[in-house]
Amino acid sequence: MRKYVIIGVPGSGKSTQAGWLARDLDLVHISVGDIFRWNVQHHTKMGALVRRIMAAGELVGDDLAEAVTAQRLADHDWNYGFIVDGFPRNARQAEFFLESYDIDAVIHLHMPDAEVRKRVLARRLCSGCGLDYNLIQGRPQEEGKCDVCGGTLVTREDDTPEALAVRLHDYHDKTDPVLAIFARKEYVLTIDATQDRAGVQQGIRDALGLPAASPEENSSGSPAAAAQP
């Protein structure tokens, strides 16, 4: 059983890296941001509550973020473990998490803000299957179309310069302290996220003492995020 948390600035590749690990190790990948985005796309009551907050790049309230994470962890049958992506985002959420779950490692993807800005503003998402593209690295074969499902590529509502500034500010203000809380338990692994995707994955695996990724995982781009989280 493996229990991991992955933390990193917006655009550092958390979801891609977590997806690869989850697929290979049979872990349940819980992306709190994907859950919220799914609710926005499907016009649920929760979606209506969080849509504007997310579009502005702000954090959703702790009560809701905690409830969603706890519910998702309770729903899944995670016999082989889980990887939580996007939670905890502040000290309160970290305390909540640590009260309920033991973690084997926190994977911290480190990327300087200037690089984040470049990457996030070039990011596109498939509106059909959720696959992540980057117009600098990993462009689609046909412009504006998903290579896997043919869906239209869109810009995330919170991938604007204004929302990104809020997200980066919040990250340094609120999420950096989470790393300090976890670091007291000495299981934070910091990985240089400016490398290419395969290099980051290898760095994570080396740090966790896991076998290398299979070649097809490295060559196939990012795994499709499930449209329904």
Long-range CB contact pairs, 111-117, < 8 A, 24+: 111/8, 111/9, 111/11, 111/12, 111/193, 111/194, 112/194, 113/9, 113/168, 115/194, 116/9, 116/10, 116/11, 116/12, 116/164, 116/168, 117/161, 117/164, 117/168
CB of 55 to ligand AMP, least distance (A): 9
Residue 185 designated active-site: no
Catalytic residue among 37, 119, 124, 167: 167
Q: Which is nearer to ligand AMP, 32 or 116 (CB)?
A: 32
Give the interface segment with ligand AMP, choosing from 32-40, 106-114, 133-141, 178-186 (CB under 6 A): 32-40
Q: Compute the distance between CA of residue 103 and CA of residue 2 in angstroms, rounded to an integer.
A: 8
Give the interface segment with ligand AMP, choosing from 53-61, 74-82, 145-153, 205-213 (CB under 6 A): 53-61
Residue 167 designated active-site: yes
Q: Compute the distance between CA of residue 63 and CA of residue 44 in angstroms, rounded to an integer.
A: 18
86 binding ligand AMP? (CB under 6 A) = yes
Taking CB under 6 A as the criterion, the residue among 38, 82, 87, 171 binding ligand AMP is: 87
Taking CB under 6 A as the criterion, the residue among 30, 54, 83, 84 binding ligand AMP is: 54
The 165-184 contact track toward ligand AMP, x by CB under 6 A, reads --x-----------------
Residue 52 designated active-site: no
Q: Which is nearer to ligand AMP, 11 or 203 (CB)?
A: 11
Residue 14 designated active-site: yes
Catalytic residue among 37, 72, 119, 123: 123
65 binding ligand AMP? (CB under 6 A) = yes
Positions marked active-site? 14, 89, 123, 156, 167
Q: What is the contact surface with ligand AMP in residues (CB under 6 A)?
A: 10, 32-33, 36, 53-54, 57-60, 65, 86-87, 89, 93, 158, 167
